[in-house]
Chains A and B, each alone.
Chain A
Amino acid sequence: GSADQKVKSKLKNPFLKVEDRRCRYRPFYLQLSSFPVVNYSIPRPCSPFDVEKKNAHGQKQIHNKQRNPTNSDREKRPNHVPPKHKRRKGYCECCMKKYDDLHAHVESEQHQAFAKSSQYQVVDDIISKFSCDFLELRENTPKVKRRKCNV
């Protein structure tokens, strides 16, 4: 945006606007349909900021995005897809780039080069100080002899 022509906009109520007091950065703001209120009528243990939605049967239903399947209702997680089926996007700290598919990125030449590099010395230095208390398993029979867990 060029600053030659100043275009101004009014924020619509209700809103929240945050900016640094020295005006060095871009303000950020939020325009809500309604300001949050503490809802005491929602039963425990739901958040007082939960949104109540009427479902098809006209009954009140707590819209709870963070529903825990271990809760009493034992609902299946609707959005749960095993990770192998979903493309995990993210940022690779090693290659310093974003990726759209974790698996594909990790297999890429660039990442593999990093994976096999000496960059991990800092981790190995720490590992070398550990002692391993675990025994080697041999066909599920514990050998009564200590071994180094190391590579």
Chain B
Amino acid sequence: MLSKCWGQWTWPVNIMKDHRLETTLYKIKQLNARLVMEAIHLDEQSPLNAGNSFKKHESNKKGALTDIEKLYQAVPQLANVFRIKGKIGEGTFSSVYLAIGHVRGGREEKVALKHLIPTSHPIRIAAELQCLIIAGGQDNVMGVKYCFRKNDHVVIVMPYLEHESFSDILDSLSFEEARNYMFNLLKALKRIHHFGIVHRDVKPSNFLYNRQLQQFALVDFGLAQGTPETKVELLKVIPSETQQRSSAYNRPPLTVGSQVTSPTSRQLVHQSATKTANKRLSSISQTQIKQGHKRKEDADCHSVQRSVFGEKNFNVRSSAFQARSTVKQPRIMDIPVRKLSVKKKAISVVNNGLGKKAASGTPAHLTCDCYAKDSICSICLSRRQQIAPRAGTPGFRAPEVLTKCPNQTTAIDMWSAGIIFLSLLSGRYPFYKASDDLTALAQIMTIRGSRETIQAAKTFGKSILCSKEIPAQDLKKLCERLRGKTTSFDNSAGDVQMNPSQEFALPIGIGNASDSALQASKKYTQYQKQSTHEDGGKEKKTIQKLPESKGWDRVPNSAYDLLDKLLDLSPATRITAKDALLHPFFRNVKQ
């Protein structure tokens, strides 16, 4: 199936000309032999460092051992090949084990075994494998070595990379390391976006980092979605506008899925205009997917909503509205749901979207005067809920995800990268702490400004009403203050030169004691003790000195400019991975 499709690929217009693409699928043997481990969907408490997680979790050992035994039972072939050492990660949809196998010559090799939850649909499993095969193995994207299956149990074998826990190293990273980290993350994102993959769950625990080896790996395509012109054939059948993978707002991240709009046409299309027949449906819905099956493309449709189940299944009508003085926020499908657009029966009638608006008997045009006002009524609450993909982790979700914009693009991954960058620059992780989408949105407004957020939301068809106006923060001041630093230096060149003997430029843009700041800067090399607080003299503020500034005293303005572009509230203008790599911030980066 795949090999046939591959030769026939036609590249979309946004193809990078400088990038030679393989048109052969099976490059498994050429996969980068870097050892990488995948830790999927681990909430931040999960120990990711296999090296010492066993000692740490002595109490868990019993459970972990039986898990290993269960895994051997579920997939007996594993026992012929691997010695499973222990569980190194657990998420909503999989568990990851460290195992040792032997390759030719008898050499031992560590691998990560990702055991997928047996409720995963085969198409989802196959799509994840395709992502790893097509995009993985280079440019810091995880590859795959092998895969085992017995019935509904599937185990993906990946290289293993021992890696740091982001929260453990955040404090000790040098500025140069942080810059390098971002560069490598963007490299991975450029690659997956090039293949039309939206990752949906970009966060530090899905971006493995081995500090010593300076190796990186973007992992976990369990939530990935395809753009309309994705090269990952099976992502085309991962559904649109349906709740796919979600879990309650507890520690494992939420997951949901849906269709994304082409990154080439970065304009968001109104949902109603995007409903068209899914021509693949009838074939996909049959039990067998024929080899070489190709989707007929709708020539005139750039962003085809591939709604497969009728909308009525997903746009839930609200329960009876009870007028109360205090209105509780309705539960918005917080039951774990992960739906695939695979029907059991072949569909003979192509659904062309007509009549969908009147789904579940809801009158089509229920108007009320609550729009953009501080009220709700039985009319507006009787409308069905809009369903849009929400997969991912709350603190890393872009505004268009939080506000249920149905057309989401690769730009959502760029926002997440911006949140990681925000953590690196501010020294705070996790940066946002929210248990629900609107709290997360409120926190974003606190940083980026309420008016700015509202304005941007209009561009993707959303009205936000906020009872309080909150000004946008200056990113530079914010990060420096959160980092515990009140001095500031401007490298007006926007370039990064890590030469310690470099002359400091005069501080600008800071309306406070530039004198003391400058003095502090001249003294910074002499400071020996961490967290020495010294009275700034004329200032009430304390200046925190670190034994080695590690370059954090000279973060160039270009860093905050890039951060601003990654955290662009409007997905249509948000910087792409490709452009971000060309940003002045990365000038002279070691590659």
Contact = CB atoms under 8 A, between A and B. Distances in A.
A134 B463 CA distance: 56
B475 to A, nearest CB: 12
A119 B149 contact: no
B145 A133 contact: yes
24 contacts: A11-B327, A11-B467, A14-B467, A23-B371, A24-B383, A30-B439, A32-B439, A44-B482, A45-B428, A65-B435, A66-B45, A77-B45, A79-B251, A83-B90, A91-B119, A91-B335, A106-B118, A126-B129, A130-B28, A130-B147, A133-B29, A133-B145, A135-B102, A144-B105
A25 B2 contact: no
Contacts of B150: 151
Nearest to A5: B378
B376 interface: yes
Nearest to B323: A7
Given A29-B329, A144-B106, A146-B104, A122 B63 contact: no
A90 to B, nearest CB: 4
Contacts of B120: 93-94
Contacts of B244: 93
Nearest to B374: A11
Interface residues of B, number: 153
A125 B1 contact: yes
Interface stretch (B163-171, B499-507, B570-578): B163-171
B72 interface: no
Contact of B167 (A11, A45, A49): A45
Given A16-B467, A126-B130, A8 B376 contact: yes
A118 B288 contact: yes
B378 A3 contact: yes
Given A13-B467, A38-B473, A82 B60 contact: yes
B25 interface: yes
A70 to B, nearest CB: 5
B582 to A, nearest CB: 30
A28 B330 CA distance: 8
A19 B462 contact: yes
B429 interface: yes
A102 B40 CA distance: 19
Nearest to A44: B427
Interface of A: 1-3, 5-32, 35-38, 40, 44-51, 65-71, 74, 76-77, 79-80, 82-84, 89-96, 98-99, 102, 105-106, 111, 114-127, 129-137, 140, 142, 144, 146-147, 149-151
A60 to B, nearest CB: 16
A25 B386 contact: yes
A99 B119 CA distance: 10
B165 to A, nearest CB: 5
Contact of B77 (A38, A51, A115, A149): A149
A18 B147 contact: no
B508 interface: no
A129 B6 CA distance: 14
Given A18-B403, A24-B383, A44-B484, A125 B291 contact: yes
Given A18-B464, A35-B468, A70-B168, A123 B126 contact: yes
Contacts of A35: 442, 446, 467-468, 470
Contact of A70 (B47, B92, B370, B429): B47
Contact of B443 (A49, A66, A77, A80): A49
A119 B149 CA distance: 12
B2 A1 contact: no
Contacts of A25: 315, 383-386
A70 B375 contact: no
Interface stretch (B183-191, B361-369, B490-498): B361-369
Contacts of A6: 368, 377-379
Interface stretch (B213-221, B336-344, B517-525): B336-344
A82 B248 CA distance: 18
B287 A49 contact: no
A9 B324 contact: yes
Given A44-B171, A93-B124, A115-B118, A123 B149 contact: yes
Interface SS majority for chain A = loop
Given A16-B438, A68-B44, A122-B289, A47 B430 contact: yes
B152 interface: yes
Contact of A27 (B168, B325, B380): B380
B126 A122 contact: yes
A49 B444 CA distance: 11
A120 B122 contact: yes
Contacts of B119: 90-95, 99, 102, 105-106, 111
Contacts of A46: 428
A80 B438 CA distance: 27
Given A1-B319, A31-B326, 7 more contacts: A16-B464, A26-B380, A27-B370, A28-B385, A29-B327, A29-B376, A65-B435
Contacts of B374: 10-11, 15, 17
Contacts of A91: 119, 335-339
A14 B66 CA distance: 49
Contacts of A30: 329, 436, 438-439, 442
Contact of A93 (B126, B339, B367, B372): B339
A2 B435 CA distance: 32
Contacts of B178: none
Contacts of B247: 90
Given A16-B467, A49-B433, A71 B168 contact: yes
Interface in B218-260: 234, 244, 247, 251
A28 B429 contact: no
Contacts of A28: 329-330, 332, 385, 404, 438
B383 A26 contact: yes
Contacts of A94: 119-122, 152
B452 interface: no
Closest 4 CB pairs of A and B: A82-B63, A30-B438, A115-B152, A93-B121
B104 A133 contact: yes
B458 interface: yes
Interface stretch (B80-88, B193-201, B294-302, B408-416): B80-88
Contacts of A83: 63, 67, 90
A142 to B, nearest CB: 4
Contacts of B44: 66-68
